[in-house]
Amino acid sequence: MGAFQARGQPMPQPKRKNMLRKGADGRSTHDVGGLEFGPIDRHEHDLALWEKRTDAMLRLLVGPEKRAFTVDGMRRVIEDYGQQQYDRTTYYEKWIRAVRNLVVEQGVLTRAEVEARMDEVRARWEKAGRKTSKEKIPW
Amino acid sequence: MHNPKHDHDHHDHDHDPHAPQKDHDAGTASAYEVLEEAVRALLLEKGVLSAQEIAASVDLIDSRSPALGAKVVAKAWTDPAFKKLLLKDTRAALKQMGIDIGAAPEFATVENTPEVHNVIVCTLCSCYPKMLLGIPPAWYKSIAYRSRTVVDPRGVLQEFGVGISDDVEVRVHDSTADLRYIVLPMRPKGTKGWSEDKLASIVTRDCMIGTAVAQAGVVRN
């Protein structure tokens, strides 16, 4: 098992287009109960290591010892994502973005620090032979 | 409700849920994976989190599995007093088994009977009895499951291979951040005299979500 390898199967691919919210008049993006989204993709998967770490960081940051932000704050960030971003990101992609935004909002880290460190990580991984996406993650 | 002509671009792959798939982590790192590495490194450097804390939290995630929920169900199937308490006060019943749900939100158990079949969903996101079942499956968090279960539960159950006859009521429980549910499935025929361990072995994750029914011949992975 290589340094970047995780166990098991990939997360299902998110939808890559902006899905209509037919009949969702005035509802928030995440409020999908009763709408129509077709068959359920029942593939099982194990989480990738970065997804587990995202889950772990979130648990710790909202936990009684750290209280860096709250679960409600986290939900607010995710629920305020534009529909296009909401639909084209996977579950833990939404989570890690929310963690980023909240630690910056709370003054734990700065935007500049995060952006600079992402560049460093990309450079390091590329040097080690792994390609990295240059995609910008909206704030 | 479901329109088969609706265009779904995630549906061009084959549908065997157990088909082997390529490991995506070995390929190009997504920007989100890079972000996770960057945020974690910064939080460690600043002493907000420690590597030990993160490792312990990952271990906790790995340790939670439907096996725990199955143990609870098997006990409820064999111990009427426990079952009564579980349905009335899930938190207290779990405590009796040495499972402390601590600061976790309220937790309710809903019982399947010959008259009522229960199924759980979280239409807004992904609330789930993680304490007893571990991390929810991807489909539980999918927009398709979240949107359709509340409006066409019988159709959704059919997709899972569960046919509920018309004279059985289907109750859908929409979980929230403050109240989560777990389904107590019906004990199947052909299990008379079984030990709790043997009973627990046939309680699958999906039985406790309500998207499956327990069967004497179907063993949990």
Q: Is B195 a known active-site residue?
A: no
* Residue A20: pLDDT band with limits 50, 70, 90: low
Could B11 and A131 be called an inter-chain contact, meaning their C-beta atoms sit closer than 8 Å?
Answer: no
| Span B65-72, average pLDDT | 95
Residue B98 to residues B47, B72, B92, B151, Cα–Cα distance (Å): 33, 11, 10, 37
* Residue A21: pLDDT band with limits 50, 70, 90: low
Phi and psi, residue A90, nearest 5°: -80, 175
pLDDT given at position B27: 84
pLDDT given at position A31: 86
> Which of B50, B57, B63, B125 is labelled catalytic?
B125
Phi and psi, residue B29, nearest 5°: -75, 130
Cβ-based burial of B18 (10 A; exposed 0-12, middle 13-18, buried ≥19):
exposed
A-chain residues near B1 (CB < 8 A): 36
The answer to the question of residue A111 being in a domain is yes
The answer to the question of residue A39 being in a domain is no
Measuring CA to CA, which residue among B40, B45, B214, B215 is closest to residue A95?
B40
User: In sequence order, which residues have a C-beta less than 8 Å from that of residue B169 and are 6 or more positions away?
Assistant: B115, B116, B117
> Which of B126, B147, B175, B195 is labelled catalytic?
B126
Coil vs helix vs strand at B166: coil
Question: Measured between CB atoms, which of A17, A75, A78 is closest to B9?
Answer: A17
Among chain B residues, the shortest Cα distance to A55 is held by B58
B-chain residues near A15 (CB < 8 A): 8-10, 143
* Residue A33: pLDDT band with limits 50, 70, 90: confident
pLDDT given at position B26: 64
The number of C-beta contacts closer than 8 angstroms across A and B is 231
CA B29 to chain centre: 29
Could A56 and B9 be called an inter-chain contact, meaning their C-beta atoms sit closer than 8 Å?
Answer: no
pLDDT at residue A19 tops 80: no
> Which residues between 72 and 111 in chain A have a beta carbon less than 8 angstroms from any beta carbon of chain B?
72, 75, 78, 87, 89-93, 96-97, 99-100, 103, 108-109
**Domains present along chain B, CATH in parentheses:** 26-62 (no CATH), 65-209 (3.90.330.10)
Could B37 and A50 be called an inter-chain contact, meaning their C-beta atoms sit closer than 8 Å?
Answer: yes
Instruction: Return d(Cα A22, Cα A91) in angstroms, integer.
Output: 22
A99 near A58, Cβ under 8 Å? yes
- % of chain B with per-residue pLDDT over 70: 87
Residue A49 to residues A99, B62, B66, Cα–Cα distance (Å): 16, 11, 20
Instruction: Return d(Cα B8, Cα B55) in angstroms, integer.
Output: 38
The pLDDT tens digits of the residues spanning B161-201 come to 999 999 999 999 999 888 999 999 999 999 999 999 999 99
The pLDDT tens digits of the residues spanning B87-143 come to 999 999 999 999 887 766 788 999 999 999 999 999 988 889 888 999 999 999 998
| Residue B119 CA neighbour count, 13 Å, CB half | 29
Both structure tokens of A118 = 């992402």
Among chain B residues, the shortest Cα distance to A123 is held by B34
Share the mean pLDDT of chain A: 84
| Span B42-60, average pLDDT | 95
pLDDT at residue B23 tops 60: no
Instruction: Return d(Cα B180, Cα B178) in angstroms, integer.
Output: 7
Rounded to 10 degrees, the C-alpha dihedral B128/B131/B134/B137 comes to: -10
Could B144 and A41 be called an inter-chain contact, meaning their C-beta atoms sit closer than 8 Å?
Answer: yes
Q: Is B122 a known active-site residue?
A: yes
Could A12 and B8 be called an inter-chain contact, meaning their C-beta atoms sit closer than 8 Å?
Answer: no
B25 near A49, Cβ under 8 Å? yes
The answer to the question of residue A72 being in a domain is yes
Residue A46 to residues A86, A108, B108, B135, B191, Cα–Cα distance (Å): 22, 31, 27, 9, 31
B48 near A108, Cβ under 8 Å? yes
pLDDT given at position A44: 86
Phi and psi, residue B23, nearest 5°: -80, 115
Q: Choosing among A42, A50, A52, A133, which should be mutated to test the B contact, i.e. which has the most B CBs within 10 A?
A: A42
How many Å lie between the alpha carbon of A64 and the closest alpha carbon of chain B?
9
Measuring CA to CA, which residue among A93, A59, A54 is closest to residue A77?
A93
Could A33 and B26 be called an inter-chain contact, meaning their C-beta atoms sit closer than 8 Å?
Answer: no
pLDDT given at position B24: 47
Instruction: Return d(Cα A121, Cα A132) in angstroms, integer.
Output: 9
Rounded to 10 degrees, the C-alpha dihedral A132/B33/A10/B202 comes to: 160
The reply to whether A67 touches chain B by the CB within 8 Å rule is no
Q: Is B207 a known active-site residue?
A: no
pLDDT given at position A64: 87
CATH number for the domain spanning A123: value is 1.10.472.20
User: In sequence order, which residues have a C-beta less than 8 Å from that of residue A112 and are 6 or more positions away?
Assistant: none
Q: How many domains in chain A? A: 1
Coil vs helix vs strand at B131: helix
The pLDDT tens digits of the residues spanning A70-119 come to 988 998 999 888 888 888 899 999 999 999 999 999 999 999 999 999 99
Helices B66-78, B80-88: inter-axial angle, 10-degree rounding: 120
Range of the domain at A104: 49-127
Question: Measured between CB atoms, which of B9, B15, B148 is closest to A16?
Answer: B9
Amino acid identity, position B115: E
pLDDT given at position B218: 87
